[in-house]
Amino acid sequence: MKKALLAIGILFVAGAAGVYVLVVRPLIAPAEPTLTVEAALATPDVVLLAGVNVKQAAFIERWLLGAPITAVAHETPARPPLDRTLLDHLSAVNVDARRDLDSVLYALYRTDGVDLRHAVVLVGRFNQSAIEDYLARELHGVPHQDGGRLSHEIAMISPTDCRPAGAWMVTADRSFILIADPASHAVVLPRLAGQTSGEADQIAWWRSLAHTDLVSVGLWGLKDADKAVPNPFQKGMAHALSMETGPFAHLYFGLGVVTVPPKGRLRLVLDAADAGAAAQKIAGWQQALSESRARWAQTAPTVAALYDSLGVSSQGARSTLEFTVDRTLAKNLQGAANELLGAIFGGLGVRRPAAETARAEHLDTSPLVFQATTSTSTLGAYDPAKTFAEDVDQIQGPFGLRLGEIRLGSSPDVGLEVVVESFASAIPNVTEESRRARLFVDSVKSSGGQELLRPEACGRERNDEPSSFTSSVSQWVQASKAVRLIAGADPRALHSVSGHVELRLPTRTESVMISASQPGTKIERHGATFVVTSVTGGSLGYQIVGARDRILHFRALNASGQPLASSGGFSADFLLGEGVAGQKEYAGVVDRVEVVFAAEEQTVRSPFTLSDFSLAGKPRSAMRDTTPPFQPYGYQALRRDRPRMPGPGKPGALAVAPLEPFELSFDKAAAYFGTALDFTFRSPSIPNFERMFTVGRLRLTRLELADGTTLEPPPPGAPAKSGFVRPTWETPISFGAVPKDGALTTTLRLFLDTKVKPEDIRALRGVVTVQFPRSLRALPLNDLTPGQRAELRDLTITVTAHSRKGFTLLANKDGDRLLYTQLAGADVPAVGFFSPNITVTPEGAWRFELLPVGHAVKAELIVADELDRKDYQFNLPLR
């Protein structure tokens, strides 16, 4: 019997694979117009050609996610043209991406100017006259005649900053839509009409790879990749890529999906221009992978097993790096995560239990509770006396509101930015993901009655867009909305900020149960549809289409009807349109699914007007600043006093450098996305040093490695090698604490964007610069209103932000001359504060964020008028 079942299973899999290869594959193969478009885009100056097989994407969407079970029964308002996505534009001209679109191709070309030269072509079946009408009517395109074809020039506005972003030339045909910059359009359009020069060899290598993948990206002429991007940062990245791939003529990246059995394939294909150099480069990569796998095998074998999904192969001049994404990889990833967590907890002295062979049941200990009926009249007023409640200026129903911050504009055309904050206790039937409570700011008025709110038709988080409430601490939600004011707005002339909170309260809910034994069951309620697509043990697959916000929540229950704890999951919009599909994992066996719908709702609008711009809040006790008065203390005074360091340095340091009278030790190195280097700097008790914002700077100038090579700081303006963290070869030194055992101590960290094995470091060289104020000046800030400033010759220190928590100062240059800030309150002559957070911008400005314990109304800046600086060279050889 078992053999018969096995044979039937094999026949079924073979039959499914045969159907895919013999029937489906030809249906999703590139159509003839796609081949024409590929040839047209592959001009002699092409650098990059990318494509998406939309027919294959639609098939995979249906195969793996399932096509939307039901048509959308919920009409959403049309977005303004500037906010529309490509799918929105296509929908506006009655183009169904699943039905009418075959492929999308993109090409990037070399350029000598400041603008990108690129083109996009959509291949499919289109209503040419409808598209041309839409371009003229909705997008205000300017018509042009190009070789007897009607094209439209569309002026582009950046949706992020509202600035002009060049122009697109758009030409529609029954089988394609060409979208390109004017220069590229003039070249590509005649080629689409068949006027190509026959560069068959130019594109043959790309087609042989791309036509089997869902997503494909190919690069020509890697040594000239930087000529396709005018931006200096992009040029740096392109140059780094060309240096790494110098021996290769072509580079290809592809994503393919196999449906039987389901798995993905990521591959990097390289065609050698210099066979010898390419072979050497590939051998180096293989050796690095082998060494990395061996290192992980010693400490975390399951992490090493991940390398089994990565393969490197060569055939003739072509080399391929292929990564397989399948169930084996998923299993290895889970095992690796468990092993790494075990190692982390083990390092902390915590024993992590072994992985369970079967998924144990765990119940949700704090499940969401929904009321069958409620009303707005039952909502209690905001209670500032409750635990974790925030201090507010005004109460409107369940919401507390206040002004949170006033700051200078982030760009010259913005006068000020004002932040409004709102808080609320948990609201019945309202969940964070439903976005049913939103904060709007409608108006900002000056004392003269002028409207100061800046009109914004585009931009990120523009003024007229609301901010949704999200969870903060237990049983509390909050929202924060920042608005920008017109240029020239005076912070002293602000009179009021008005707005409203909109709450769409579900006043009646409906809970529906779905049996897990009936996958495919569809529940339609109130314009929303929920579908259980699959249930396997604790895994629940689902789809949601229509009025998604009508589905307040769904959860899995066990056989006793108890909610199971969720251990994770994922969701994604359908690849080609409306709806969402996802999967959630639960700790236990799913017996049924409960879906909670909003059957009826009531919208409540709570208006507010705020006028207290002091940001003081309710009275609170202040911490007194007991810092001794600062005094001039130059380098000659140090030489005169000859202070001595008490006792030995940090035990266990890898290397120690005495810098009389100071001491620098190298404590450890760790590899993350680059290499982190930790140091400790010690000083005897010297006047001013205990509370000075900046005592000096640590600068690393050279790192010597075991193989004889060295690393040095990159030149100014060089692009970072890591996209995660900026390299830091120098850092300010400050203490901000009382001496311990007679010595001031602080820890410092540098970060290199190059991975270095800690055991390979042999020595570190650099310089510690210590500064001594020979003369001091006190600069008053009579109030802390944003824009208030103090000046000493070419040094300008400006208040850039004032919030309920504190304020921010910005020094235009030489921020290390700002030694300290003495704060004063209305009734307290010296308000204490925690050590400031200090950052230095790439342009050389210094930002100081201060958090006073009490309300400060003015400040006195202690600035070094004259400074002595002493450099201490150091060499830290490792033992």
How many angstroms separate the Cα of 747 from the Cα of each of 119, 666, 769? 52, 10, 16
Residue 331 CB coordination number (10 Å): 12
Q: Are the CB atoms for 404 and 421 separated by under 8 Å? A: yes
Round to whole Å and give the CA distance between 496 and 493: 10
Q: Are the CB atoms for 334 and 356 separated by under 8 Å? A: no
Strands (E), 11-100: 46-53
Burial status of residue 57 (CB atoms within 10 A of its CB: 0-12, 13-18, 19 or more): buried
Round to whole Å and give the CA distance between 789 and 799: 6
Of 388, 497, 403, the closest CA to residue 803 belongs to: 403
Round to whole Å and give the CA distance between 516 and 592: 5
Round to whole Å and give the CA distance between 615 and 132: 54
- CATH topology classification for 376-505+606-610: Immunoglobulin-like (2.60.40)
Token readout for 827 is 């009734």
Taking the model in full, what pTM does it have? 0.75
Q: Are the CB atoms for 572 and 543 separated by under 8 Å? A: no
Is residue 87 helix, strand or coil?
Answer: helix
Round to whole Å and give the CA distance between 674 and 754: 5
Helix, strand, coil share (%) of the chain residues, nearest 5: 20, 40, 35
Residue 610 CB coordination number (10 Å): 19
DSSP secondary-structure letter at 650? -
Helix (H) or strand (E) holding 436: none
- Spatial neighbors of 740 by CB under 8 A, at least 6 apart, are none
DSSP secondary-structure letter at 651? T
Round to whole Å and give the CA distance between 135 and 171: 10
Residue 12 — left, alpha, or beta (φ > 0 → left; ψ -120 to 50 → alpha)?
Answer: alpha
Round to whole Å and give the CA distance between 736 and 759: 33
Is residue 299 helix, strand or coil?
Answer: helix
Torsion of CA 460, 461, 462, 465, to 10 degrees: 140
Residue 209 CB coordination number (10 Å): 20
Strand partners, 142: 153
Which residue stretches of 584-644 are H helix? 635-641
Asked, as a colleague might, if the bond just before 661 is cis with ω within 30 of 0, I would say: yes
Which residue stretches of 182-264 are H helix? 182-192, 200-210, 232-244
For the chain, give every domain's residue range.
Answer: 1-27, 31-272, 275-319+326-339, 376-505+606-610, 508-601, 635-877
Round to whole Å and give the CA distance between 684 and 761: 29
Residue 742 — left, alpha, or beta (φ > 0 → left; ψ -120 to 50 → alpha)?
Answer: left
Mean pLDDT by 10 residues, the chain (879 residues): 38 40 46 83 88 82 53 56 81 86 91 85 93 91 87 84 83 93 91 67 82 87 64 59 67 76 76 73 71 64 64 78 63 49 39 48 90 91 90 94 93 88 91 85 95 86 90 84 93 95 95 85 89 88 87 93 88 71 90 94 94 84 87 92 81 89 92 84 92 94 91 76 71 85 90 84 95 94 92 93 93 93 88 87 90 90 94 91
Round to whole Å and give the CA distance between 415 and 774: 39
Token readout for 376 is 């707005």
pLDDT score at 440: 97
Residue 230: alpha-carbon gap to chain centroid: 24
Q: Rounded to 5 degrees, what angle do the CA atoms 724, 726, 728 make? A: 140
Of 574, 433, 454, 490, the closest CA to residue 87 belongs to: 574
Angle between helices 32-41 and 200-210 (to 10 degrees): 130
pLDDT score at 849: 94
Of 371, 275, 363, 354, the closest CA to residue 314 belongs to: 275
Q: DSSP letters of 5-28?
A: HHHHHHHHHHHHHHHIIIIIHHHH
First vs last Cα of the chain: how many Å apart?
Answer: 70
Round to whole Å and give the CA distance between 29 and 20: 12
Is residue 189 helix, strand or coil?
Answer: helix
For the stretch 298-308, pLDDT in tens is 555 665 565 66
Q: Are the CB atoms for 612 and 507 separated by under 8 Å? A: no
How does strand 675-684 pair with strand 662-671?
A: antiparallel
Q: Are the CB atoms for 711 and 752 separated by under 8 Å? A: yes
Strand partners, 664: 657, 681
For the stretch 224-279, pLDDT in tens is 666 666 665 565 566 666 666 667 778 888 888 765 556 677 888 888 777 776 67
Q: Are the CB atoms for 848 and 790 separated by under 8 Å? A: no
Give the count of alpha carbons within 13 A of 513, CB side only: 11
Q: Rounded to 5 degrees, what angle do the CA atoms 864, 870, 874 make? A: 140
Round to whole Å and give the CA distance between 829 and 827: 7
For the stretch 622-646, pLDDT in tens is 788 888 899 999 999 999 998 888 8
Token readout for 145 is 């005649």
Q: Could you give the strand order of the β-sheet that contains 743-752, starting from the edge strand earlier in sequence? A: 655-659, 662-671, 675-684, 743-752
How many angstroms separate the Cα of 334 from the Cα of each of 257, 329, 337, 570, 590? 22, 9, 5, 15, 21
Q: Rounded to 5 degrees, what angle do the CA atoms 427, 428, 433 make? A: 70
Phi, psi (deg, nearest 5) at residue 297: -60, -30
- Spatial neighbors of 107 by CB under 8 A, at least 6 apart, are 41, 42, 43, 46, 48, 49, 50, 118, 119, 184, 188
Of 444, 395, 449, 452, the closest CA to residue 424 belongs to: 395
Of 453, 523, 504, the closest CA to residue 481 belongs to: 453
Q: What is the CA radius of gyration of the chain?
A: 32
Is residue 276 helix, strand or coil?
Answer: helix
Q: Are the CB atoms for 207 and 34 separated by under 8 Å? A: no
Is residue 140 helix, strand or coil?
Answer: coil
Round to whole Å and give the CA distance between 418 and 434: 27
Helix (H) or strand (E) holding 340: helix 327-347
Total residue count of the chain as it appears in this document: 879
Phi, psi (deg, nearest 5) at residue 472: -120, -95
Of 583, 579, 553, 558, the closest CA to residue 568 belongs to: 583
Of 416, 468, 411, the closest CA to residue 444 belongs to: 416
